[in-house]
Structure 1
Amino acid sequence: MFNLVSSDWISCPSRVPVLALLVDKDQRNQPSQQQELINCSCPFLARHLTLAIPIIAAILFFFVMSCLLQTSFTDPGILPRATVCEAAALEKQIDNTGSSTYRPPPRTREVMINGQVVKLKYCFTCKMFRPPRTSHCSVCDNCVERFDHHCPWVGNCVGKRNYRFFYAFILSLSFLTAFIFACVVTHLTLRSQGSNFLSTLKETPASVLELVICFFSIWSILGLSGFHTYLVASNLTTNEDIKGSWSNKRGGEASVNPYSHKSVITNCCAVLCGPLPPSLIDRRGFVQSDTVLPSPIRSDEPACGAKPDASMVGSHP
């Protein structure tokens, strides 16, 4: 429905979307709802009602596409993985044996947030303790701040930095779908005046197909918009709601959401209107190997993070 092709990825363990095409090669010959509206309903409604109808449809369409592109191309809040030296230092702090290759059972740390104890889990892939509300996406293979979910429709994770664009996308898409549905119904109703309604349906098969598609898709889109409106008002994420992090879904006692501001308006402003944090991705950096060499470091070799001596440059072992 959104005519978005799958993204190409950088060839490295950490997957970051770098390119997306707007039209899928398998869907180039398939007309979209917007194309059907422009080709069938808009000219008729513009002649018989008002020229504002195609203008409103075009504005909604471009706003939806703008939000879709922003959601797809914006860094969702990916946290860079720990370097080899950082991971080794953290492992030595946790492991009493001092072996950086030892892999103990899952570990957690506890922090206090607004009087509520929050556990920080250790990510064995990124080699770090995840900050609060951070989760590792199995599709993108990255830890994402305020992880909500991975959306296959936009080809990207939805997190701290692009959630506002995602919410604007599904909300505007709901208005666009409802607007198209109303326009098609009006189109068929006006065309059937003074003639048989069944014959009108036979004369406009594209409008009938569009009406059926809109009717079945509008409920899922409206339901998704309503669900995320509830999440925004409660300052929750989809991941937290599914896991029941602050409810009794797990069978235990319900705990208070420490991130809620106890006000719907304040929660909405905090989620949607707060300052956008900077991206932590170094797009010009090089991918470092996440494996430690088994051989010990020789005395004539620089340690982790140390700069090599000028006399060693170009030398051979």
Structure 2
Amino acid sequence: MSAVMITRKVRKWEKLPGKNTFCCDGRVMMARQKGVFYLTLFLIVGTCSLFFAFECPYLAVHLSPAIPVFAIILFLFVMAFLLRTSFSDPGVLPRALPEEASFIEMEIEAANGNVPAGQRPPPRIRNVQINNQIVKLKYCYTCKIFRPPRASHCSICDNCVDRFDHHCPWVGNCVGKRNYRYFYLFTLTLSLLTIYIFTFNIVHVVMRSVDQGFLNTLKETPGTVLEVLVCFFTLWSVVGLTGFHTYLISLNQTTNEDIKGSWSGKNRIQNPYSHKNIIKNCCEVLCGPTYPSVLDRRGMMQEDSPVFANGEAPSSFNNPIPQTTKTTAPLIPNEHTPEEVKPSIAFASEKSPSSREKSPSPKEEHPPSPKLPPLASPETDAETSIAKTH
């Protein structure tokens, strides 16, 4: 069966690793688990729809026509910040290419040397200095990179995220360097919208109860009861979350660092990213520059795909065998190799298939090589060694 390799251009987002979902030709990037995100949309849109249907007509006539206008403005801000947080790249770091990963592995092996059998290898870390503080860069075994400062690997999205804060299921995405400010503005505006709706729900019930009675008011506006219950239970969590992130922004700290106690542990290491000033910390987090994405999701790349004569691909192409990268010790002795192991390494290098032997042509004459005794098999060597020991 003959096959022809055809090179075609594809978008890079189609080949990106990790557990993400892309829409609109790579412009929208979210996590695969989006069930809670749909619940967030339903609660916000549903509660606001009930408020516009039951309370706004009465309050606009008997109190002020500006009440529904401000509610619409807050609703638009909430939806804009929610979609901006959910549909953007949080700061995912690209994984190392196979050549880069091999080079990093060689550097680590050269720095650590040969680890004796039965002993754990030393941790893969690098130390950098930031504002006179030593910060450790940890190695990610999945992405094959040394993570930048404040970066962490999200187990849900299976990506390393720069300035990783946390993975929020309510927005259906990670919260990191590129969307943290929009996440905070979303929680802030949602808190204001929840307080706004809850307050005017109470005002609406009180104003109608004066004329019609409390029970008659509840019968005529059943949506008000549902709105009050939703807003009451949502208010505490949303306002508490906004207050917690306001505290973190004032210290220029992330949720991940606060949970791990990175700057308040036993060593009492000070936060090297804090300016020791609340205003400066807030300006850096909320008003700092917007960092571009380093993924180049919509960039083009070439992919080779086989096309067969009968239009069918064999089973080896339909079910490709996953390739695994195996790191082996070099066959060339180095300065870390023990003296007693060097002869065996040299002998193995002579037997390795990498040493290419040219077959002599009929016209060339070569002196006959001395015949070597046949090498014993591993089983014979094992039996000889056992016999000697006994």
Give the shorter-chain TM-score range: 0.7 to 0.9
SS of residue paired to 2:246: helix
Residues 178-217 of structure 1 correspond to what in structure 2 (within 5 A)? 178-217=195-234
Partner in structure 1 of residue 306 of structure 2? none
Report the Cα distance in structure 1 between the residues aligned to 2:143 and 2:80, rounded to whole angstroms. 32
The alpha carbon displacement at 1:216 in A equals 1.2
Partner in structure 2 of residue 232 of structure 1? 249
Residues 1-317 of structure 1 correspond to what in structure 2 (within 5 A)? 13-19=17-23, 24=38, 32-96=46-110, 104=121, 106-248=123-265, 252-283=266-297, 284-285=299-300, 291-292=324-325
Give me the TM-score of the superposition, normalised by structure 2.
0.67
- Residues 161, 298 of structure 1: CA spacing in aligned structure 2 closer, same or farther, 3 A cutoff? farther
SS of residue paired to 2:81: helix
- Confirm or deny: 8 A CA contact 1:92 1:98 kept in the other structure: no
The alpha carbon displacement at 1:18 in A equals 1.8
- Could you report, residue by residue, the CA deviation over 1:178-213 in whole angstroms, capped at 9, with x for unpaired residues? 000011111111110133213322332210111111
The alpha carbon displacement at 1:104 in A equals 4.8
Report the Cα distance in structure 2 between the residues aligned to 1:145 and 1:220, rounded to whole angstroms. 27
- Residues 105, 16 of structure 1: CA spacing in aligned structure 2 closer, same or farther, 3 A cutoff? farther
Report the Cα distance in structure 2 between the residues aligned to 1:79 and 1:287, rounded to whole angstroms. 21
- Confirm or deny: 8 A CA contact 1:36 1:207 kept in the other structure: yes
SS of residue paired to 1:32: helix
- Residues 98, 18 of structure 1: CA spacing in aligned structure 2 closer, same or farther, 3 A cutoff? farther
- Residues 108, 175 of structure 1: CA spacing in aligned structure 2 closer, same or farther, 3 A cutoff? same
The alpha carbon displacement at 1:75 in A equals 0.9
Report the Cα distance in structure 2 between the residues aligned to 1:290 and 1:162, rounded to whole angstroms. 35
Report the Cα distance in structure 1 between the residues aligned to 2:237 and 2:126, rounded to whole angstroms. 39
The alpha carbon displacement at 1:290 in A equals 8.1
Higher relative contact order (CA 8 A, sep 6+): 2
- Could you report, residue by residue, the CA deviation over 1:143-164 in whole angstroms, capped at 9, with x for unpaired residues? 0000000011111110001001
Partner in structure 2 of residue 304 of structure 1? none
Gaps of 5+ in 2: 1-12, 24-29, 115-119, 304-321, 329-351, 356-390
SS of residue paired to 2:69: helix
SS of residue paired to 1:109: strand
- Confirm or deny: 8 A CA contact 1:91 1:98 kept in the other structure: no
* Larger Rg, first or second structure (1 or 2): 2
The alpha carbon displacement at 1:106 in A equals 3.5
Specify the code of the residue in structure 2 equivalent to 1:58.
Answer: I
- Residues 136, 273 of structure 1: CA spacing in aligned structure 2 closer, same or farther, 3 A cutoff? same
Q: How many residues align?
A: 286
The alpha carbon displacement at 1:105 in A equals 5.3
- Residues 287, 220 of structure 1: CA spacing in aligned structure 2 closer, same or farther, 3 A cutoff? farther
Gaps of 5+ in 1: 1-8, 300-317
- Residues 241, 290 of structure 1: CA spacing in aligned structure 2 closer, same or farther, 3 A cutoff? farther
Partner in structure 2 of residue 311 of structure 1? none
- Residues 24, 216 of structure 1: CA spacing in aligned structure 2 closer, same or farther, 3 A cutoff? closer
Give me the TM-score of the superposition, normalised by structure 1.
0.81
SS of residue paired to 1:254: coil
- Confirm or deny: 8 A CA contact 1:17 1:73 kept in the other structure: no
- Residues 151, 297 of structure 1: CA spacing in aligned structure 2 closer, same or farther, 3 A cutoff? farther
Partner in structure 2 of residue 308 of structure 1? none
Q: Which has the higher helix share?
A: 2
- Could you report, residue by residue, the CA deviation over 1:254-303 in whole angstroms, capped at 9, with x for unpaired residues? 2211000111000001001111111101213559998448999989xxxx
- Residues 10, 209 of structure 1: CA spacing in aligned structure 2 closer, same or farther, 3 A cutoff? farther
- Residues 271, 287 of structure 1: CA spacing in aligned structure 2 closer, same or farther, 3 A cutoff? farther
